[in-house]
Structure 1
Amino acid sequence: MQTIRRMMEHLYWADRRIMEALDENGTKDKDILKLVRHVAVAEQVWLSRLEGKGSSQYALWEEEDDVGTLKTMFEENERRYRNYIDRLEENRLDDIVEYANQSGVPFRTSVRDILSQVLLHGQYHRGQINRALRQDSAEPVQVDFITFARL
């Protein structure tokens, strides 16, 4: 659990850093904001599944032009994930979660693997967001784990 907790702390930190970069750069690029929203919604989708709820109410690829709304989404995600992780016991990491993906296809995945997906998915897209910020003549932000670990 210690590693998962640490990695989740990195996720919260990295999400905040991306939002700070958007604020600082005043980014209005719809593709960048759509990708940021995708990360926030994907976090919501996976947490909903971990909590035994459906996820069909979530649209993964909608546009959002309000940075404040995105910031609120990440703040809520952090609050909800902290609550979930605080209650999660190590002996439950290999429990199997049954869920349907956004297309309705059923799957069975361990809690451990779902949390790993959340962590890796966000980091993958934060790299894309940083690249897009650079192409938009904005300053990308350092979100590597080692940067977080050095704090």
Structure 2
Amino acid sequence: MNAEYFQMFARYNQWANNHVIAACETLDQVDLDAPREAFFPSIMKTLNHLLVADTLWMARLRGEILKMGLGDVPWPEFADYKATRTQYDAALIEYVDRLDDAALAGILSYKNVAGVAYATPRNIVIGHVFNHQTHHRGQLHSQLLSAGCPSLEIDMIYFARLKGYSQ
């Protein structure tokens, strides 16, 4: 995988997250907090899990250490979540845009939330960040449908067509 591939994924990630945010904005806070079927039992808890995980991974990529739990809800109000999500997605694009193929091939040493040390190629870690987003956006999609939102067309192919990667 080369740097341009991950740069495209960072932009897709932002685009898909913006669609999720737009759908969430049609709901009130009560609906966002209501119990829903998924691993994280509400829209807000699922949104928070994604942003907590992303925040932890970005810290690791920058050589920082954060103490957060994957079930923490640091952004219980949607407006706070939205502002932080928007900042994070822009920061992820900026970070990935600075990487070259050699940096992507490098090894990232880090500890997980349980304190276990790992060494993983940076391209695998960044790929995981995007894959994790997609995984939980699928759960969010189901939760949003159960809240009465229309289906979201956020598959990668829609982004690729829109941005000229596909014809």
Same fold (TM over 0.5): yes
**Match in the other structure for 2:165:** none
> TM-score, structure 1 length as denominator?
0.92
CA deviation string 1:38-95 (max 9, x = no partner): 1112111111111111132x23212343111111111111222122122212111111
Out of 19, 25, 28, the position equivalent to 1:26 is 28
Quote the residue 1:78 is aligned against. Answer: 89
> Matched residues, percent identical?
25
Structural RMSD (CA):
1.5
Task: Pick the aligned partner of 2:126 from 111, 115, 130.
Answer: 115
* Counterpart code for 1:21: A
Aligned residues: 150
What's the CA shift string for 1:15-36, capped at 9, x where partnerless? Answer: 1111111002336332111101
Is it true that 1:139 corresponds to 2:150 in the alignment? yes
Aligned to 2:12: 10
How far residue 147 of structure 1 moved from its aligned partner, in angstroms, is 1.1
Q: Is the contact made by 1:39 and 1:122 (CA closer than 8 Å) also made in structure 2? A: yes
Structure 2 unaligned residues grouped into runs of 5+: 34-41, 163-167
Instruction: Check if 1:60 corresponds to 2:62.
Output: no
| SS of 1:99 mapped into structure 2 | strand
| Structure 1 runs of 4+ with >3 Å offset | none
Contact 2:11–2:93 (CA under 8 A) maintained in structure 1: no
In the alignment, is the contact (CA less than 8 A) between 1:40 and 1:74 conserved in 2? yes
TM-score (normalised: structure 2): 0.83
CA–CA distance in 1 between the matches of 2:76 and 2:153? 23
Which residue, out of 131, 135, 160, partners 1:149? Answer: 160
Which has the higher mean CA deviation after the structures are superposed, 64-73 or 14-23? 64-73
Q: Do the aligned residues in 2 keep the contact of 1:96 with 1:109 (CA within 8 Å)?
A: yes
How far apart, in 1, do the equivalents of 2:90 and 2:52 lie?
A: 14
AA partner of residue 60 (structure 1): L
8 Å contact kept, 1:25–1:139? no
